Amino acid sequence: MLMPHGRGELAAMILPPTLLSFVTTLGIPSSIIYVVRKINSDIDKTIATGLWMTLLISSISTLAGIFLLPLWLGRQYSPAVIHWGQWYLSTTPIMALGMTGRAILEAKGQFSRSNLLLLFTPGVTFTGLLLLFAAHRLTPFSAAACYTVGAIPALFLMLLWVFPFMGSRVHFGVVAARQLLGYGLRSFWIDLLGTMALQVDQVLVINLLSPSAMGLYGVILSLSRMFNLFQLSVVMVLFPKAAGRPTETVIELAEGAARMSTIITGLCCGIAAIFGPVVLRLLYGAEYAADARSLRLLLLEVTISGAVFILSQAFMALGHPGVVAILQGIGLSVTIPTMLWLVPKLGVEGAAISLLVSTVCRFVLVYLGFRFILKVRTPQLMPRVGDFTILNDQVRKIFQRAI
């Protein structure tokens, strides 16, 4: 309904709060999981302190983002887009608190509730978009409100579930803050660089591409990123389960998870590479289906990046988050110059190529990090017959339950 130009304006308004909520966490969500699972002392104060720290840091980043947004968007976007984008930045603390709340639930083993929160926000967003469509009020500005303000109901639900873990101790604790920052500042660089690896393309192309080209890129990127759900589901369980385990157990968990999720993601992405252009034409129109090559490059990239994300959890679980941060930083340093070089020449396809090159670099570095940094064997990532047997058994169980 918005067409590529309107879709580009929408991306310019909803990307900043999402990006800020990820890159200004100081590693608190990962640190809460590690501290609760590994140290397991004074948990109530640790949880309360983590929430207070998240609120403070995200609020400061929001103020900075409001002043910097006009410089970021430049002259490509209208004053109205910039104005409303600044207003929507106020939802950054809501999104940040949501991430910390999900980490608390996962640290306590409540993965079903964490999953429900992940579903709740897009459910509210989708409902709002349908209502706007029915009322003939769907514009880039009203759609942006659905994407940003839609996180508020999930915040209240999260607080309802998390408060019992704190008891009556809802105040800030200095000792707890030191514990969280001790691990968090090291893992923060993984969160930051991992987020930038996923979103630096959008950060740059917003300024390098026209709103129409940005709208086209945003749609095909969203289609490819749908297949991140397999890796995200694995990581949600892998890190809390692996933290505090013996080294060899962690390696086995990570390599098995990486193999299985890559098999599933690769199969799904292969199907999407064949039928993706047809789906884009049916759902969005012919304007979005013209760049099938960029879509296929992004599907290959998302398959490899998922393996990188899962293997990184082994370093996190073994207490070496800074190592992954350095390795990802090296890989990310390839993205920015490559994108600045290729996007002006090749447009959307240049952005896709840049992401793929960077992801391959990060995969090689993380994989070699097992041998040369952790001093352990490298993970066995080639699919095995047993992997397909396990996959077949699990699929059969799912169908049996459904029947």
Residue 240 one-letter amino acid = P
The predicted-structure confidence for 271-328, as pLDDT tens digits, reads as follows 999 998 888 888 777 777 767 889 999 999 999 988 988 998 888 788 777 777 777 6
Pick from 114, 402, 394: nearest CA to 264: 394
User: What is residue 138's predicted lDDT score, i.e. its pLDDT?
Assistant: 92
Spans of the chain below 70 pLDDT: 39-42, 167-171, 173, 175, 183-198, 200, 290, 328, 402-403
- Token pair 């607080």 is at which residue? 159
Q: What is the pTM of this model?
A: 0.69
Q: Give me 297's structure tokens.
A: 């490059």
Residue ranges covered by each domain of the chain: 1-185, 209-403
Angstrom distances, CA of residue 122 to CA of 119, 138, 198, 320: 6, 17, 19, 33
The predicted-structure confidence for 164-203, as pLDDT tens digits, reads as follows 877 666 667 676 777 777 766 666 666 666 666 667 677 7
Angle, CA of 273, 278 and 283, to the nearest 5°: 115
